[in-house]
A and B are shown apart, each in its own frame.
Chain A
Amino acid sequence: MNMFKSIRQVIKEQIMHINLIYRMAAFENRGMYQIHYLGSLWQFLNPAIQVAIYWFVFGTIRGGAPVDGTPFFLWLIIGLIPWFFISPSIIQGSNSIYQKIGLVSKMNFPVSLLPTIRIVGNSFQFFIMLGILVIIDLFYGIKPSIYNIQFLYYLICLYAFLFSFSILSSTVSTLVRDYQVALQSLMRMLLYVSPILWNTSLITETFTTYGPLIENILKLNPLFYILEGFRDSILGRAWFFEDLLYTGYFWALTFALLYFGTKIHMRFRKNFMDYM
């Protein structure tokens, strides 16, 4: 259908250049840590320091109590590890076109690959951290269950969302530079209104009348769906099709982001240099 021409075009470019995306991502990662003495060790030192501080602060606030029977540390890192991937992917992905357009415009290179390269680049570290997460799970005695399969579904959700969001975001960020600054503030805020550091069902306990409404507003954030989904699959709490309304909302939103993102990307891609 004509309506989805831009979506098809952008996705086709990704598939056609999948090798190039992977190679460029690996390359950029190599360049990024070359100037540091500790090299790529920082990719793990950094998150470790952050986990430690959040565990200390938020664990203390909770008085060390578990969350719905799950030890707090375990509950925390299931949310934090994806966050360490999501946050830089969104910020770097959004900045990618602005950053690279000067270099790329002189070549016959599809601009739509730039945000994807940043997502893939951050994935290398993410997958290693997921491996560490599995080890920690086993250490805590979490038994493998049929719910674990669902993890794959939420990974697909995560990548679909990141791709759709960053294609829109990177285009807007190139045209309006203020957006990038605003996005950075927003991401800092999102860390606190997503179910990462604290259990949002506390709201319903604190505010009995408006609590459920406030929690539902927080749920409109698509990252909420993904992060809680990861916990559901690892801790074996629920299936994604048990909440069809939420699943439907997430995919409708992701599709809308993809639709508008590819549309304005194709509309402006030839003129990016004029807006620099």
Chain B
Amino acid sequence: MKTKVKFKSVYKTFELHAKKSEKILNLFSMSKKKGKEFLALKDISFEIFEGETVGLVGLNGSGKSTVSNILAGVIQPSTGHVEINGETSLIAISAGLNGSLTGIENIELKCMMHGLTKEKIKEITPTIVEFADIGNYINQPVKDYSSGMKSRLGFAISVHTDPDILIIDEALSVGDSTFTQKCLNKMDEFKEQGKTIVFISHSAGQMKEFCDRVIWLHYGTVKETGSSTEVVENYQNFTKWFNKLSDADKRAHKQEMISTQVSEQVEKESKRNHRPIFNINFLKNIVVLTPVIVLGVLMLTSY
């Protein structure tokens, strides 16, 4: 089987800055102090094969969306290696539609940005309109849509841009059950076509029914990988156990887990070994800047 996605010890850290200015200093690596870091992903490794449907479960803040964003190329991992063979398409609730344009115009714009030709867009627009099924509202500006309508349109557009790897990030949870069924049918169709799907949802039923394998993310680490029924059941048992705890225990448990994710890194790794490259760069910059300065000075003195 061909590997479609490969994560190899991927870390993603978010820097926690007290002040905005620290962020800037860090950007130009002028500050040695790095401040606190939050490890959203800690040493994540997994593989997804062609034609597989893989589910991601976990509590809020366990890193599901971070993984899906890395898959879609929205953000980059801090360290580690990510290999993606194919085009990914992320379907999230915030579908990124332009509020002042009508539904039809949004379809055209988004398809255009996905790199579809004019003819192809004309061809698939009726299919998208039919799939979204929002009636005459399709000719109204999107800002007048309800949240359900927005996600229906967003989902309809995304699935029709012919993605290779589909990432569905809780996009199905807003629609009503009739639309969810429609989406699930569409996903079945994708499965039959041998497409790879990464599915993020809180619905245990959908997970079991739909996924071949499930990855359980727990506070930034992979807790368990395996067949969907097994992992989902273990996850459900965990949530049941957690819900039974007293409020104080819950808080203590959360606090303990999150504290493992925050690291106090004082010294930044030395950049000194990059010194020679920096020097060549510096030289190039001087070469480009010199004519500007020389000609500028000549201009100032030429009167």
Contact = CB atoms under 8 A, between A and B. Distances in A.
A212 B302 CA distance: 9
Task: Give the size range of A's interface with the partner.
Answer: 35 or more
Given A249-B295, A259-B288, A273-B75, A106 B96 contact: yes
Nearest to B287: A3
Interface string B80-105: 00000001011010101010110001
A260 B299 contact: no
B292 interface: yes
B20 to A, nearest CB: 9
B96 A216 contact: no
B292 A252 contact: yes
A245 B298 contact: yes
B113 A253 contact: no
A245 B89 CA distance: 52
Contact of B303 (A103, A176, A216): A216
Given A106-B92, A213-B303, A273-B74, A23 B291 contact: no
Contact of B114 (A27, A108, A176, A252): A108
B204 interface: no
Contacts of A189: none
Contact of A20 (B96, B112, B288): B112
B151 to A, nearest CB: 14
A106 B295 contact: no
Given A31-B100, A35-B100, A106 B112 contact: no
Contacts of B254: none
A102 interface: yes
A255 interface: yes
Interface in A229-276: 245-246, 248-249, 252-253, 255-256, 259-260, 270-271, 273-275
Given A24-B113, A106-B90, A253-B292, A217 B108 contact: no
Contacts of A215: 303
Contacts, number: 99
Task: Give the size range of B's interface with the partner.
Answer: 35 or more
Contacts of B303: 212-213, 215-216
Interface string A9-26: 000000000001001100
Contact of A252 (B74, B90, B295): B295
Contacts of B299: 216, 219-220, 245-246, 249
Contact of B75 (A23, A24, A249, A274): A274
A216 B302 contact: yes
Interface in A90-118: 102-109
B96 A256 contact: no
Interface of A is mostly: helix
Nearest to A270: B76
B27 interface: yes
A267 to B, nearest CB: 10
Given A3-B284, A107-B114, A249 B300 contact: no
Contacts of B89: 107
A129 B159 CA distance: 42
B24 interface: yes
Interface in B41-92: 69, 72-76, 87, 89-90, 92
B106 to A, nearest CB: 10
Contacts of A270: 76
Interface of B: 23-24, 27, 69, 72-76, 87, 89-90, 92, 94, 96, 98, 100-101, 105, 108-109, 112-115, 141, 284-285, 288-289, 291-292, 295-296, 298-300, 302-303
27 contacts: A20-B113, A20-B115, A27-B112, A30-B105, A31-B105, A32-B100, A35-B100, A103-B113, A105-B74, A106-B90, A106-B92, A108-B114, A108-B115, A109-B113, A175-B27, A176-B24, A216-B299, A216-B303, A245-B299, A246-B299, A249-B292, A249-B296, A249-B298, A252-B292, A253-B292, A260-B285, A260-B288
Given A252-B295, A253-B292, 11 more contacts: A20-B115, A31-B100, A31-B101, A31-B105, A104-B113, A217-B300, A245-B302, A249-B292, A249-B298, A253-B296, A256-B288
Closest 9 CB pairs of A and B: A212-B303, A249-B295, A103-B96, A252-B291, A105-B74, A252-B292, A31-B101, A259-B288, A106-B90
